[in-house]
Structure 1
């Protein structure tokens, strides 16, 4: 254990030296340090590169990821020399351009480091724009003529959803469900200005353009106990004002429309535990009052969405076409019924009743793996190996109710952290849940669900992602793989013990 801690400390020191060298404009020294680090962790590095390469066909930033893979393989082969410096500069500039629309502070860091690898006209212009936004006008003009006027630089007061202390704080009572009526109201969804294009905000305005702040959200969004909550709510409106310039033309709808939108609603977790119960809890009452009611939502149209709408009795003719901006003759918007990252108890109660989830006892001998499968985000390394070695079947992604049935039958659930854990809604009390996480990304999104279902929960850390790859192969911790290679982590050792005990 001591040698492992020492190795980790040495790796962190060497990585810090690489970043310092890069910040000082010495990319060759940075590459030399990273070369040593990659060789020290070669088995882990090779596993990460293999997983990233396997996901390229589904990767929205595949060209940039290929650059990172090429640089890593070049470093594994030896000292890359000036060719490596050039590749590193191009890679850092590419990451800077990805970050620029949403996280300018991270973009600035990437682009300044790229500049240390070699100047070029486009890079000078990008840095000039960032410096101008920060108010460093003289420095900006030394590089290039900045665009006028500069885009505002909106800086959050804290880490918001990435804040670890706030995740551990108790949440206040869940908000009540209320329905707001807005004649000629509008709702729109700003999307990420990067290749992922997920719902990055929710904006609701009345006919005069006044913001309904209690119905608006935008990333970064705080945990419920955040001391900077008021400042972040103000920042939300500023983000939405800035996003108005890119807002598409409105889809106009006659009559009443129930409009329900959530941050990242295209993802299973946010649809199932946030958007769907918010919709379902008010649909029937609203339909009784407005018989010609139609529905607009931002959850997309995957099979699980269609199944839920069919079960609600919402026929296709009641659905408005998908759009990012709607103005309705009468817009009906339900209030948010849960705090960020905390599924509301009333929502969970409604979901249990809606899907017909029953209490009961699971088969203690039955085990099920809630796998990551072929996910490009946060793949679980060695997942198939463990499933085969332990003889644990993977959750079959059939209908939602069939998924519930599989989970309800299992006495032990192996769950690499991800959206499949929303299926814990069907787990029987006293079921054992072994959650496997990357040390850098272990949010507590599912804790209320685990507590409600009275599950026996263990959260175990997989092996850490090699530091150089954290820097230039992934967008952030939420994308780091869950490294379950045998013998490499507490999580892998626990899986091996399961094999022994079977």
Structure 2
């Protein structure tokens, strides 16, 4: 499914590909000898031989660009998690290795946090090439790296880079607000907490605030998580912001029994957060990579029903009174 659950981070490398090409809205990479480079051309929920490139009768005319182009495409780059950990991380990988880049190739840029973070890293609009359905470009040299964090085992250096660039360098200070937060997915299309009102009614007794992060800047999200002493949230991209949390922050991640992932547990370990998880009410076990794609899709979207009694017990165990 393009999200292998491995026991260690994916090895990363940088390839200089003279006269390589980029095709389509997802920014697939094609080598000079007409091979698809799957490491840099993932399409979620497909296998390599099912890639959309192979269903094309004919490609658009190629446009030659006499520059060094860094390919940082990701078909789900609009997702906060993938953008931060798999797109921005590769910019840092290039910087650490002193790779000179003329322009950067991205997939669709529709979210405010994308431009905000790129400007912070010095990647101005003039340095950006955005892929669409008509894209078919050839660079003097393509600089290609594989995805960094798609295994869910996000390397510590990536988390430290994000913390430094978007929390420490801007000098963000903690707020007196947001000491205890519940992060809602009420505006999401999937994986909502079905009894969220009951959860919030209970948590308000302990001074929790309910926050919706969609539409907030990265700086605002960083401040909220940097301020928090306790974070409770359903599994989702909002927990990317754990990279901004202080050591010792208590984290309770809510799951459906069908969809259990280690992603944010690993990030919590990197920063010495006090992490635990609460599995919601329901039957069935978590899907595995060999599960049918239809089962994976159902599990990925499954809503969560929280057992309030179990939540109370977990809060007591964490020392939240």
**TM-score tier after normalising by the smaller chain length:** 0.7 to 0.9
How does the TM-score come out when normalised to structure 2?
A: 0.78
Report the Cα offset of residue 448 of structure 1: 2.3
CA shift for structure 1 position 319? 2.1
**1:421 equivalent in structure 2:** 239
Matched, 1:267 2:79: yes
The structure carrying a bigger helix percent of its residues is 1
Unaligned runs of 5+ in 2: 286-293
Determine if the alignment matches structure 1 residue 210 to structure 2 residue 26.
no
Structure 1 residues 321 and 264: alpha-carbon distance in aligned structure 2, compared to 1, 3 A threshold: closer
Over 3 Å counting, the alpha-carbon distance change for 1:407 and 1:251 in structure 2 is farther
SS at match of 2:210: coil
SS of 1:328's partner is: strand
What is the root-mean-square deviation in Å for CA atoms of aligned residues? 3.8
The one of the two structures with greater contact order (alpha-carbon pairs below 8 A, sep at least 6) is: 2
Change (3 A) 1:261 1:418: same
In 2, Cα distance between equivalents of 1:416 and 1:308 = 25
**Closer, same or farther: CA 359–254 of 1 in aligned 2, 3 Å:** closer
Residue 264 of structure 2 corresponds to: 446
Report how far residue 414 of structure 1 moved.
Answer: 0.4
Q: Is the Cα contact below 8 Å between 1:204 and 1:215 reproduced in 2? A: yes
2:306 to 468, 484, 490: 484
Contact 1:341 1:445 in 2 (8 A): yes
TM-score (norm 1): 0.52
Residue 303 of structure 1, CA deviation: 0.8
* Structure ranking higher in strand proportion: 2
Per the alignment, residue 145 of structure 2 pairs with 335
The match for 1:15 is: none
| Contact 2:258/2:284, CA 8 A, preserved across alignment | no
Give the match for residue 254 of structure 1: 65
Change (3 A) 1:407 1:416: same
Q: Which of 21, 27, 34 is matched with 1:186 structurally?
A: 21
Q: In 2 relative to 1, CA 247–413 (structure 1 residues): closer, same or farther, beyond 3 Å?
A: farther
Distance 1:178 1:216 in 2: 15
Deviation at 1:427, TM superposition (A): 0.8
8 Å CA contact retained: 2:160, 2:243 = no
Give the greater-gyration-radius structure (CA).
1
The answer to whether the 8 A contact 1:179-1:334 is kept is yes
1:374 CA drift (Å): 1.5
- State the shift of 1:437 in Å: 0.5
**Displacement of 1:216 after TM fit?**
4.1
Deviation of 1:393 after TM superposition, in Å, equals: 1.5
Q: 1:370 aligns to what?
A: 183
**In the superposition, relative to structure 1, how do residues 359 and 286 fare at CA in structure 2: closer, same or farther (>3 Å)?**
same
Q: Contact 2:70–2:143 (CA<8 Å) still a contact in 1?
A: yes
Closer, same or farther: CA 239–362 of 1 in aligned 2, 3 Å: same
